[in-house]
Amino acid sequence: MQVKTINFGILEIPENKVLTFREGLPGFPRIHRFAVIEMEELKPFQYLQSLDEPPISLFIINPLLIDPSYEFRLMDSDMEEVNSTNSAELAVYVVATIPKDPKFATLNFMAPIIINDKERCGKQVILHESKYSVKHPLLHSTGHDEVKGRKA
Amino acid sequence: MPRVKTRMLVFTRKKDESLIIGNDIEITILAVSASSVKVGIRAPRNISVHRNEVYEAIKRENLAAAQSQIPRTDIFKKFLRP
């Protein structure tokens, strides 16, 4: 199918790349179809392209590239929504918010996106009791590492 | 897709009393104090429940993320682990 994107013109999306987000996303509850698009120039980011209206795209990235210790518990309702019984099979991404000055880019570590490739569905999970931030800074300096050391 | 119409129903409940939503969801008042109420929700596993302010924060962040500039990966690559 063809989708007219905001940033990348018209893209051809094969049917087998279409992901169903049963509940949409918070803020975009009526978008139920997405695709994960890879572009060489965006790596290591990918983007989650809406295939419904509005044709938004969200920049996503593997959270382990930023924090290798990132981990969270999934609820039954999360697993059920992506037709999965084994969390190891799920792909995990976090959404990036990138303002005009990219120095201030942040990642939403409190609401990761889980995708079940096999079943072609996904969901943005809101973590309960989360020690993670909605605005986790993308660029960490030595200051960030010092904070981690203090908490240990 | 048409917007779902909602209306607010107001009930007064005492401690240990409950409400049933649809056929499958039960909300019970577990404890009442001067400044807060402890609420229990019994629902099927496919229904998620969140604190409103948390949901709103995620919603705001998604809306902001949808306005993002294309990331300057030359800057970011330096800071990412291999």
The model's pLDDT over A138-149, given as tens digits with 9 standing for 90+, comes to: 886 433 443 344
Confidence at A43, pLDDT banded by 50, 70, 90: confident
Residues of B with Cβ-Cβ distance to A59 under 8 angstroms: 65, 68, 70-71
Q: What is the mean pLDDT of chain A?
A: 87
Domains of chain A (ranges; CATH) run 2-151 (2.30.290.10)
Put residue B62 in one of left, alpha, beta given phi > 0 → left and psi -120 to 50 → alpha.
Answer: alpha
Helix, strand, coil content of chain B in percent (nearest 5)? 25, 20, 55
In this predicted structure, the answer to whether residue A57 has a pLDDT above a threshold of 90 is yes
In this predicted structure, the answer to whether residue A69 has a pLDDT above a threshold of 80 is yes
Q: Which is more confidently placed, A41 or A68?
A: A68
Choose among B57, B72, B80: nearest Cβ to A102. Answer: B72
- The pLDDT > 70 percentage for chain A reads 91
Q: Answer yes or no: is B10 within a domain.
A: no
Residues of A with Cβ-Cβ distance to B45 under 8 angstroms: 75-77, 80
SS3 A100: coil
Residues of B with Cβ-Cβ distance to A43 under 8 angstroms: 73
Q: Which of residues 65-104 of A touch B (CB under 8 A)?
A: 65-66, 68, 75-78, 80-81, 95-100, 102-103
| Mean of pLDDT values over B62-76 | 81
Cα A106 to its chain centre, rounded Å, is 12
Position A151 scores a pLDDT of 38
In the block, which residue shows the tokens 């039954």?
A76
Choose among B45, B50, B65: nearest Cβ to A80. Answer: B45
CB pairs under 8 A between A and B: 110
Q: Are A90 and A116 in contact (CB under 8 A)?
A: yes
Q: Are A51 and A33 in contact (CB under 8 A)?
A: yes
| Mean of pLDDT values over B59-67 | 96
Q: Which is more confidently placed, A119 or A128?
A: A119
- Which residues on adjacent β-strands are paired with residue B18? B28
Say whether A77 and B45 touch across the interface (CB within 8 A): yes
How many domains does chain B divide into?
1
In this predicted structure, the answer to whether residue A120 has a pLDDT above a threshold of 50 is yes
Domain hosting residue B34, numbered range? 18-77
Q: Answer yes or no: is B46 within a domain.
A: yes
| A44–B contact, CB cutoff 8 A | yes
| Mean of pLDDT values over A111-116 | 97
Residue to substitute from B25, B70, B78, interface A, most A β-carbons within 10 A: B70
ipTM (interface predicted TM): 0.88
Q: Tell me how far apart the 2 most distant CA atoms of chain A are, in Å.
A: 51
Position B76 scores a pLDDT of 62
Q: Answer yes or no: is B45 within a domain.
A: yes
- Evaluated on CA atoms A146, A66, A139, A95, the torsion sign reads negative
In this predicted structure, the answer to whether residue B70 has a pLDDT above a threshold of 80 is no
Say whether A97 and B65 touch across the interface (CB within 8 A): yes
Chain A nearest-CA residue for B46: A77
Q: Which is more confidently placed, A70 or A77?
A: A70
Q: Answer yes or no: is B4 within a domain.
A: no
The model's pLDDT over A9-35, given as tens digits with 9 standing for 90+, comes to: 888 999 999 999 999 999 999 999 999
